[in-house]
Amino acid sequence: MYPDEKDNTSFDWQTTKRLLGYLSPYKRTIFVALAASVLSAAANVLGAPIIGWAVDEGVEKRDLTTVGIGVLLYMVVQAVGALAFRAQITRMAVTGQRAIQALRDDLFTHVQNLSLSFFSRYESGRLISRIINDVNTLREAITWAIVGTFRDMLSLIGIVIVMVLINLPLTVVALGVLVVLAIIANFWRIYARKTYLRVVETNARMNAELAEAFNGVRVTQAFDRQTYNAHRFATHFNQNNRQANMNATLVASLFFPSIELVGGVATGLLIYVGGTLVLRQELSIFTLLTFVLYIDQFFQPIRQLAQRYNLFQAVMAAGDKLFHLLDRPIEIQDAPDAVELPPISGHVRFEQVCFAYEDDDKLPVVTDITLDVPPGTTVALVGHTGAGKTTLIKLLMRFYDIKEGRLTIDGYDINKVTQRSLRRQMGIVLQETYLFSGTVMDNIRYGRLDASDDDVIAAATAVGAHDFISRLEHGYHTEVREGGSLLSAGQKQLLAFARALLADPRILILDEATSNIDTQTEKIIQTALARLLEGRTSFVIAHRLSTIVNSDLIVVMSHGRIAEMGTHQELLGASGAYRSMYTMVDN
């Protein structure tokens, strides 16, 4: 359980009010559904009296016409009730789907804007469980429970009123059973709460495990860990989920048969008391028949309300978790007075920049970074793992906000410009290229959505990707599938270069962009890279030092600080950390 998630299954007015807020645009439809539920409940209540009247006035007096009228009237009432019930269901189904669509849209939009630190702590499988499973729980409640509960309450009240009007002693017998039901329901409520929460939690954990296992399937197969993973999934996740569902089923299997048993006992008592009154000639047998018919109808809404109580508990738990997710603050936000960053030339300045991750005991990751990068300069960042190279890039793209110091582009403090205007003038190619489901052309066009097909082909040609794309089964319209599983690492990187080139950024970032490319492929893109870097301010992170020897400036990072910087020749002549690294690699 995450610290910001609560096991809230009790009634929460704030959660309820926010859920109702998603229904407010559909008030008219809901009122129609409520009106339909009134008709449906009335049909349920009137059925038994009509049959009693037909038997009492028709059968007893041997009046076939009265019996026929009673049967016809009963069929009409039931038909009206069925049509009203259908109207209730369809109206609430439409309302539920629209409300859920709005909620999912809000969740998706919000989650995509959360900081990278959130995604480093929150598994994708658990997020999917929230947005799919928990939202589906709300949809179920909207479609069936909200108006359905209103209908059942009306039915129950109507039945009690009619029973009182027909015969008070028999009504007292029927209502006396409610005390027993209340005691049973209270015990069930306590255990149902615990078992349901366990089901929800094990579902979320299993989804998280599935997402991790499938994303890492290549590593699994490379180390021949399929059996290990299958055992881990079966014993730690699937088994726990099965046991949680079994416990929930056990609780339900005890509660609902108990209601049936109580209903049977109530019917027996009713027949005994009613039979005694009939023998004393204080009650007609046809009135007793009406009560026997009513007793089943009396317990039907009680069963439904008990089931919906469980659903409402689930709604409170799901709603609470969803709104906690929606309420998570977006850490990186535009300042109230943020301005649009105009077209830039790419002059970047780090002025005594310091930064520490919140989850790392606030130990500084970069300290006192001062760096002036003129427009069009290619800067190479080198250093050992954890030296702070990638952190500088994240700060430049404002994935995190600096703690101390100042970072400017063309004199504009990046904290005082809009993120959209900042990032649309930047391009990045990562070590692990991510390709989305879709065609090759779609993935390249991701760099500039309004680009024409000719623009896409030109970008691919410029980086040397056109030849291999043309050899694919459907060329630029070949489906690459999720993650680009049909392509080699080098081919995926070439597509990433084409995507970056198409975006035409003023500031380009290459984060180990050539580390997964073989020597032959690297030669293909060297010319394209030169063209890509030309005229742009570029930051290149590389462990392969041979790829950055022509950089305008090489910055050597060590333990979050700048150890030395200069050109390749200057640093070799300085006999410092860079010379040691270069000599070690060369040897």
**Alpha-carbon distance 506 to 525, whole Å?**
20
CATH of the domain at 465: 3.40.50.300
Is residue 1 assigned to a domain? no
Tell me the pLDDT tens digit for each residue of 547-566.
788 889 999 998 889 999 99
Mean pLDDT of 344-360: 86
Query: How many residues in total does the chain contain?
Result: 587
The domain boundary residue, chosen from 479, 504, 529: 504
Q: Name 219's Cβ contacts closer than 8 Å, sequence gap at least 6.
A: 225
Between 441 and 11, the more confident residue is 441
**How crowded is residue 279: how many other Cβ atoms within 10 Å of its Cβ?**
9
The string of DSSP codes covering 493-548 is HHHHHHHHHHH--SEEEEESTTTTS-HHHHHHHHHHHHHHHTTSEEEEE-S-GGGS
The domain boundary residue, chosen from 486, 504, 522: 504
Instruction: Domain of residue 249: give its range.
Output: 13-326
Tell me the pLDDT tens digit for each residue of 488-525.
877 888 888 888 888 888 999 988 766 656 666 666 66
Tell me the pLDDT tens digit for each residue of 54-102.
877 777 677 788 888 888 998 999 899 899 988 888 888 888 888 888 8
Is residue 291 assigned to a domain? yes
Q: Are residues 212 and 90 in the same domain?
A: yes
Between 29 and 126, the more confident residue is 29
Across the chain, what does the average pLDDT equal?
A: 82
**Alpha-carbon distance 17 to 24, whole Å?**
10
Q: Are residues 105 and 253 in the same domain?
A: yes
Amino acid at 253: S
Classified as helix, coil or strand, 370 is strand
The maximal CA–CA distance of the chain, rounded, in angstroms, is 121
Is residue 180 assigned to a domain? yes
Q: Are residues 193 and 51 in the same domain?
A: yes
Q: What is the model's pLDDT at position 523? A: 67
The string of DSSP codes covering 402-435 is -SEEEEEETTEEGGGB-HHHHHTTEEEE-SS---
Q: Is pLDDT at 577 greater than 80 in this prediction?
A: yes
Given a contact cutoff of 8 angstroms between Cβ atoms, the answer to whether 181 and 262 are in contact is yes
Q: Is pLDDT at 446 greater than 50 in this prediction?
A: yes
Between 476 and 125, the more confident residue is 476
Given a contact cutoff of 8 angstroms between Cβ atoms, the answer to whether 502 and 445 are in contact is yes
Q: What is the model's pLDDT at position 3? A: 44
Give 530's Cβ-side CA count (13 Å radius).
7
518, two tokens:
């073989």
Q: Domains in the chain: how many in total?
A: 2
Q: What is the model's pLDDT at position 4? A: 47
Q: Is pLDDT at 441 greater than 90 in this prediction?
A: yes
Mean pLDDT of 248-270: 77
Given a contact cutoff of 8 angstroms between Cβ atoms, the answer to whether 443 and 491 are in contact is no
pLDDT tier, 373 (very low <50, low <70, confident <90, very high otherwise): very high
Residue entry with tokens 């189904």: 93
Q: What is the model's pLDDT at position 518? A: 63
